Amino acid sequence: MLELAILFFVIALIAGVLGAGGVAGLSMSIAKWLVLIFLALAVISLLL
């Protein structure tokens, strides 16, 4: 899951450099949610 978040972050950076603001914003949102889900699952797995 963390690998997907990093992938979407890289896509967002490339799209931002190329001037595609909509794609960059969407990719950044997806990356943010994937990181949050990853962190939540990591905390849950550590507690159990």
pLDDT of residue 16: 82
The number of folded domains in the chain is: 1
pLDDT per residue over 1-48, tens digit each? 778 878 888 888 888 888 877 878 888 888 889 889 999 999 999 998
pLDDT of residue 26: 85
Distance (Å, whole) CA 13 – CA 48:
36
pLDDT of residue 45: 92
Distance (Å, whole) CA 47 – CA 21:
39
Distance (Å, whole) CA 40 – CA 48:
12
Q: Which domain holds residue 6?
A: 2-47
